[in-house]
Copies of this chain bind each other. A is one copy, B any other.
């Protein structure tokens, strides 16, 4: 390439880049303007008590923009991804105030309200205009006074303390609601029913404390007693954006045996195995494709968290151990397939499991691929 040509190209390139930078600046200004408008929307919603998240409005708005994008020759999946990310931000910005569903409520006591998930509830209640008292183990001497004035007592303490804390509750007012947010439900619910004669409900918020509020999150509801008395509480959580799922405490705990206990225990052993075999971790991540980096991350993330939390979840119910024993057996049986070189039977079982998963396997594949593209945008999970 001649000197002249290469200079010409360099100049063209730098002009184009200036143009792109200018458009990106406009993007930021656009976002600033949009944030202003969504804040105003949030204020009106708070005043009128309208929900922050309206799935139909979101879907309709996305559809319109995707159509417009296609007309302009812009990738509709790009626009969808951008708008979804932008909407996450607006929900966040609109999160300041919520409608108070039951202004008649006197005080709400959150036991463990200074904890990670407890403080999420404290914030949500306060931003909905309720008076909240936080009760931690060090200020138990004021407990009786707080309980006497409470319309709702919410237990938000570590699993292994939940039942004891519930048993230690001094007599609550007859119409006070007793609720908990532990990730197991049978034992706490039974304990609450025993400790209190008034309204009782077990909750399990299916999200961690770092989720941005409760929008689009699932909260499991296990009914205890006098549901009409705590209806407002369920409606309040819906106002915060939650989807409620009502199941029995036993069904909940059975599902959690699969979802939590089984998965965490397997991950624990996987981590133990890696540490025991001691491969070069940096080499491993360097040699990993995005999907394997994600797989590894799902293992690694466990060990950045509280050992006792996971010990409590796993050791909580010895009834679950048989499920783990059967996994161990199945692993042994699958190993026999390998040692016998029985590929045909492996393939047969693989297909049968695929049939059990049904269409969900396909959904998992498609969604996980989309997710990996997003992880790749960020060069995530690389050492």
Contact = CB atoms under 8 A, between A and B. Distances in A.
Nearest to A349: B272
Contacts of A218: 286-289
A85 B83 contact: no
A9 B330 contact: no
A259 interface: yes
A338 to B, nearest CB: 5
Interface stretch (A104-112, A134-142, A147-155, A317-325): A317-325
A1 B85 CA distance: 34
Interface string A278-300: 11110111111111101111111
Is chain A's binding surface mostly helix, strand, loop or mixed?
helix
B82 A273 contact: no
Interface in A81-133: 81-89
Contacts of A273: 262, 326-327, 330
A27 B82 contact: yes
Given A28-B74, A304-B364, A307-B350, A321 B334 contact: no
A169 interface: no
Contacts of A217: 289
Copies in the complex: 2
A358 B284 CA distance: 14
Contacts of A13: 41, 44-45, 50
A139 to B, nearest CB: 28
Nearest to A367: B380
A186 interface: no
A247 B287 contact: yes
For this complex, into which size category does the number of interface residues on chain A fall? 35 or more
Given A19-B37, A82-B85, A259-B287, A265 B334 contact: yes
A300 B330 contact: no
Contacts of A275: 352-353, 356-357
B361 A303 contact: yes
Interface stretch (A172-180, A187-195, A207-215, A225-233): A207-215
Given A245-B286, A300-B360, A260 B328 contact: no
A234 interface: no
A339 interface: yes
Contact of A263 (B34, B254, B292, B381): B292
A310 B44 contact: no
Contacts of A302: 361
Given A78-B86, A300-B363, A207 B289 contact: yes
B335 A360 contact: no
19 contacts: A20-B34, A27-B30, A28-B68, A81-B85, A84-B377, A84-B378, A206-B288, A207-B290, A255-B284, A255-B287, A259-B295, A269-B330, A295-B298, A297-B363, A301-B365, A314-B346, A315-B338, A315-B341, A331-B331
Given A21-B61, A26-B30, A27-B83, 13 more contacts: A9-B48, A13-B41, A23-B30, A27-B30, A31-B82, A216-B379, A218-B286, A268-B346, A272-B349, A274-B353, A304-B364, A307-B347, A314-B338
The 5 closest A-B pairs by CB, nearest first: A300-B364, A275-B356, A206-B289, A307-B350, A303-B354
